Chain A
Amino acid sequence: GENVEQHPSTLSVQEGDSAVIKCTYSDSASNYFPWYKQELGKRPQLIIDIRSNVGEKKDQRIAVTLNKTAKHFSLHITETQPEDSAVYFCAGRTSYGKLTFGQGTILTVHP
């Protein structure tokens, strides 16, 4: 089955810096890669996603890039703010509806 590895497990940045989280996947049939943000005590919520026919997608301060050949994708957050502090999960999907999640990255943005 699919395996998704996520790095780093923790990331600490200063407000205004950029943050990058990287994920690799094992199944070349994976065709959908969402990123979720989970604030303390809350449910995971989708922040951006990318499909396998697209190399990059941006939404204001966040962007995701996908390299199908290398089987990795990354989340980029620019101009970080304290409210970006949360746990971020990447995921990959191959078969009907089923997502495989990475282990999560705890992002801390220091004011």
Chain B
Amino acid sequence: NAGVTQTPKFQVLKTGQSMTLQCAQDMNHEYMSWYRQDPGMGLRLIHYSVGAGITDQGEVPNGYNVSRSTTEDFPLRLLSAAPSQTSVYFCASSSAVGEQFFGPGTRLTVL
């Protein structure tokens, strides 16, 4: 199993650009989520999904969109990048009652 994979590993954007962070898991997990982690800070939940076709907002959803068309994939879209979105983004997945696994992260810089 590859576990949770994320692409790209690093990305630099200019203010106003849009992009999609990719996340995939091969463990048939129902639950997937996106977090952002600013330097020296904790994990803040952006959006999450409890299954294909079902998504909901987390703690800091503004400026981000998600969709879940398949069990495996959970992309995160930045609509119009801002410097405040400079952060490390982690995708995670779990079954309803099991361990949550994190992806390796995407380090995003917005200039």
Contact assessment for A97 and B95 in the assembled complex, using a CB-CB cutoff below 8 Å: yes
Contact assessment for A45 and B96 in the assembled complex, using a CB-CB cutoff below 8 Å: no
Contact assessment for B42 and A43 in the assembled complex, using a CB-CB cutoff below 8 Å: no
Within the complex, which residue of A97, A100, A102 is in contact with B96, where a contact is CB–CB below 8 Å? A97
Within the complex, which residue of A46, A100, A101 is in contact with B99, where a contact is CB–CB below 8 Å? A46
Q: How many interface contacts (CB-CB < 8 Å) are there between A and B?
A: 46
Report Cα–Cα, A57/B94, bound state, in Å: 21
Q: Decide if A81 is an interface residue (CB 8 Å cutoff).
A: no
Q: Decide if B34 is an interface residue (CB 8 Å cutoff).
A: no
Known A43-B102, A43-B105, A49-B99: A104·B50 in contact at CB below 8 Å = no
Report Cα–Cα, A46/B104, bound state, in Å: 14
Which B residues touch A103, using CB under 8 A? 42
Known A98-B31, A101-B42, A104-B42: A46·B100 in contact at CB below 8 Å = yes
Contact assessment for A98 and B33 in the assembled complex, using a CB-CB cutoff below 8 Å: yes
Known A44-B90, A97-B48: A32·B97 in contact at CB below 8 Å = yes
Instruction: Give A34 Cβ to nearest chain B Cβ, in Å.
Output: 7
Which A residues touch B102, using CB under 8 A? 43-45
Which A residues touch B42, using CB under 8 A? 89, 101-104
Q: Decide if B75 is an interface residue (CB 8 Å cutoff).
A: no
Contact assessment for B50 and A101 in the assembled complex, using a CB-CB cutoff below 8 Å: no
Contact assessment for A97 and B31 in the assembled complex, using a CB-CB cutoff below 8 Å: yes
Known A32-B97, A43-B105: A97·B43 in contact at CB below 8 Å = no
**8 interchain residue pairs of minimum CB distance:** A97-B31, A43-B102, A104-B42, A101-B43, A103-B42, A96-B50, A96-B96, A44-B102
- 9 more contacts with CB within 8 A, not counting A44-B90, A97-B94, A97-B95, are A89-B42, A96-B31, A96-B50, A97-B96, A99-B33, A100-B45, A102-B42, A103-B42, A104-B42
Pairs A–B under 8 Å by Cβ, sample size 8: A34-B99, A34-B100, A43-B102, A43-B103, A46-B99, A49-B99, A97-B48, A101-B43
